Amino acid sequence: MENISIAIGGDHAGFEYKKALMDFLAGYPVTVKDFGTYSSESVDYPDFAHPVASAVENGEFTFGILICGSANGVAITANKHQGIRAAICWTKELAQLARGHNNANILCIPARFISVEDAKAITHTFLDTEFEGGRHANRVNKIVC
């Protein structure tokens, strides 16, 4: 997990989980930048998903983490960016497949459907899993329009 940089953001529904994940990631040799939101006040998720996706898309950060209630809104928004492969993960197994098979570069967490402890375990698995390449690379290379 060394030399990894992470752009993290989310809406009001993901605010508490974002804080918990930032504390969790402080124990790892990674760089993390918080793209907001900075409170539990109601906000619009695209205002945070687009900057995170742009930061990953332009190579400023290795990975992104986006958190909202269902993770659908942030995933849909992030996936509008070329070169972004945002995956909604609610289990460690999905996180492992998202990285290993799909080379996902943004993890989307559904805060209203999993525990904080599960979110930490999913994040660890996502960041610790390498893309397998091979036959999966052929498929991933066909995603971009």
- Residue 86: helix, strand or coil by DSSP? strand
Q: CA-to-CA distance for 71 and 50, rounded, in angstroms? A: 14
Q: Give catalytic status of residue 101 as yes or no.
A: yes
CB 37 within 8 A of CB 43: yes
Position of tokens 């390449």?
A: 133
Q: Give catalytic status of residue 68 as yes or no.
A: yes
CB 8 within 8 A of CB 22: yes
37 preceded by cis ω (within 30°)? Answer: yes
Pairing of strands 86-88, 106-110: parallel
Active-site annotation holder among 50, 68, 81, 89: 68
Q: Structure tokens of 81?
A: 């960016």
- Residue 24: helix, strand or coil by DSSP? helix
Give the active site residues: 68, 101
